[in-house]
Chains A and B, each alone.
Chain A
Amino acid sequence: MTDKLEVLRDYIRTEVGHEGDIDPHVDLLESRILDSFSIVQMAVFIQERFEVELDADDLVRANLSRLSAMVAMIDRKLAA
């Protein structure tokens, strides 16, 4: 969990330029850390970095608006 969180945090810091810590439960869209374009880019990154296959149904707010939800989705995909 922690490793994946750190990878995702690093991605956001590098690609979006967000500075500081990111609470895994904070809504990244509402807090404007990410927007709908960066969410897509992040989904592509998740596929490549964690070698999971996402489909369009995975790209929903419930899976991508929080770091904790992203990690849970990655874990589900890896376990499947």
Chain B
Amino acid sequence: MLSRIASPIQEFGFSAGLLYVLGRGLQAVSSHLRLQVYELMVQPIPDKPLLPSKFGRSFEIREIRRGANEIELMPARPDIKEARFAQGAICLGAYRKGELIGYIWLCFDRYDEDEVRCTYLLSPQGQAVFDFDLYIFPEHRMGLGFVGIWNGVNEYLRERNIRFTFSRLTRFNLPSRRAHAHLGWKRVAGAVFFQAWELEVMFATIRPYFHASIRRSRRVGLNLTPDALTSDQNAGISTGQG
């Protein structure tokens, strides 16, 4: 019992570890009780490719449209995928030698979260997207897939004058944190959602800080800005680490 508490604390830190244990405990009590612990991140779209051009050329990035056969290969539930298209999300597929190796979803300017009743509002308008559900098929993991997808997605976004991409990370997804560290991720905010049947309570480190609702139609809005990147650059300049 003690190790079930101690090991998450050791892995995630004290407060996050306690939230992890609490979340697992709630789920054990009822499937209607959930604790979602998120970190909201931003990463810059770099001016230069991640891969040398001769390697990057082996990946092709193209939009997968609603109704395409590839949609059925994606593990998310059909109604979730349909809801994504309904809110204007774009799905980009990464292909190598004609084979789909992975994909990512993007929303421009705003994204309606599908795990909790929250809408992320992105700024600056017209220059930001929200990326979610990056998936690499198992046989292409632990290789170039992750870099190849991001290399192509960055190019796609650069062509559309997008400078920032935001994302939501489950606090306990350490491999994803490690992988994205290479992409220049910075933390924008943290948010914890407690769900009990129709009740949803949010605590966040940005406005409105707290929100509670029992109606499915009520969504809290969180404004996400790339200030974390700017302030980091400023800090770098002032300390000579730029």
Contact = CB atoms under 8 A, between A and B. Distances in A.
Interface of A: 29-30, 35-37, 39-40, 43-44, 55-57, 59-61, 64-65
Interface of B: 50-52, 54-55, 57-58, 142-147, 178-179, 182
Contact of B142 (A36, A43, A55, A56): A36
A36 B144 contact: yes
Contacts of A39: 143-144
A37 B184 CA distance: 12
A30 B175 CA distance: 12
A57 B57 CA distance: 11
Contacts, number: 45
A71 to B, nearest CB: 19
A71 B9 CA distance: 41
B59 to A, nearest CB: 8
Contacts of A60: 143-144
Nearest to B140: A61
Chief secondary structure at chain B's binding surface: loop
B58 A56 contact: yes
A44 to B, nearest CB: 6
B147 A40 contact: yes
A44 B51 CA distance: 10
B142 A57 contact: no
A55 B52 contact: no
A64 B147 CA distance: 15
A19 B150 CA distance: 29
Chief secondary structure at chain A's binding surface: helix
A35 B143 CA distance: 8
Enumerate the 4 nearest inter-chain pairs by beta-carbon distance, A residue then B residue, closest first. A56-B58, A37-B182, A29-B142, A61-B143
Contacts of A35: 178-179, 182
Contacts of B58: 56-57, 59
19 contacts: A29-B142, A29-B143, A30-B142, A35-B178, A36-B143, A36-B144, A36-B145, A37-B50, A37-B147, A37-B182, A40-B55, A40-B147, A55-B55, A56-B55, A56-B57, A57-B58, A60-B144, A61-B142, A65-B142
B54 A36 contact: no
Contacts of B57: 56
B142 A59 contact: no
Contacts of A43: 55
Nearest to A65: B142
Nearest to B183: A37
Contacts of B144: 36, 39-40, 59-60
A36 B179 contact: yes
Given A57-B58, A61-B142, A36 B147 contact: yes
A56 B142 CA distance: 16
A64 B51 CA distance: 16
Contacts of A44: 52
Contact of B54 (A29, A55, A61, A64): A55
B143 A40 contact: no
